[in-house]
Structure formats: C-alpha cells, structure tokens
Amino acid sequence: MEAVILIGIQGAGKSTFYRGRFFDTHVRVSLDLLKTRHRERTLLEACLATGQPLVVDNTNVTAAERARYVTPAKASGFRVVGYFFVPDPKGSRERNDRREGRRRVPPAGLYGTLKRLEPPSTAEGFDELFTVSLSPAGEFLIKSWAGAGEAAGRDMHA
C-alpha cells in the first residue's frame, strides 16, 4: 500500500509525471479533477479504507498542506513517498502558458505558489523522498533525497 505525494509549483510536470509513472497502478487524487475538498477527502478515505495505492496530484507546497494526506495515510498503514519537483519558474511558466482555458494559472498565482514552497522533510512522515527535475530533452530526472538531500532541499531557496 503506497501513497505518493507530488510537491511542486504549477507547470512543474506533476500530472505528466503521474500519467507516465503511476497511471496504471495508482488512483489519482487531484483537487483540479474533483473540484471540492469534500470529494477529494471522500476519494482519499476510500483509497485508504480499501488499500488502493494513490497519488495526490496537487501543489502540496507546505508541510501543513501535505499533512492532510500524510497523516491519514500513515495511520492507515500506507508507505508514504514524496516527489519534490525542483523549482524551475521559467520552465513552469512556459509550460503553464501553453495550457488552455481554466487549466492556465495566472502568473501571479504561479509565483505566489513558488514563494510559499517549503521543501519536504522525512520528519513530516515520508518514508522516502525524491527530487524530480526535467532534462533539456524533457525527460524526468529522479534522484533520491537520502541524507544530504534534507539539507539540499532547504538550500533550494537560498
């Protein structure tokens, strides 16, 4: 039983990452899709009650936001894994600008999210953490956060 928490600003590639890596194995819990916190909570609770692997595909930029998923997942015996999308404001803005209609986030929203971004920590309850960045060719580069990653994560805003 696994709960995956994606962490990053809008346009970072979280949904594309989900589709490529977890679509066939994990239920996607996304406020963008479900529209209300009540629906989101209902789906999360159903996954936890039935042992269904899940991915939370929201920005999840603060420890407090992540706790609404990490705490119940841990209490339900799930292994909790976080994927922190290393901030690339320019690239995220470019990808966001290619979005259509309501999927496009105003630039102020994207930069506001970036200002609130708190790198995750194993102290939050994560069993494992990874960083994700995009290569120049658009491929996802995944690295273990292990050990020194805690300090490196804190330095990302320095």
Task: Give pLDDT, residue 114.
Answer: 82
pLDDT band, residue 154 (cuts 50/70/90): very low
Mean pLDDT of the residues in the chain = 86
pLDDT band, residue 105 (cuts 50/70/90): low
Q: Which domains does the chain have, with CATH numbers?
A: 2-155 (3.40.50.300)
SS3 label, residue 133? strand
Does pLDDT of 61 surpass 70? yes
Q: Of the ranges 39-43, 84-88, 117-121, which one carries the lowest mean pLDDT score?
A: 84-88
Tokens representing 148? Answer: 């020194």
Cα atoms in the Cβ-side hemisphere of radius 13 Å centred on 112: 5
Using a pLDDT cut of 90, give the percent of the chain over it: 61
Q: Averaged over 66-83, what is the pLDDT?
A: 98
pTM, 2 dp: 0.86
Task: Give pLDDT, residue 106.
Answer: 66
Going from the C-alpha of 24 to that of each of 35, 47, 131, 140, the distances in angstroms are: 23, 15, 22, 18
Does pLDDT of 96 surpass 90? no
SS3 label, residue 111? helix
Closest CA to 12 of 87, 63, 115, 104: 87
Task: Give pLDDT, residue 98.
Answer: 76
Does pLDDT of 156 surpass 50? no
Task: Give pLDDT, residue 152.
Answer: 43
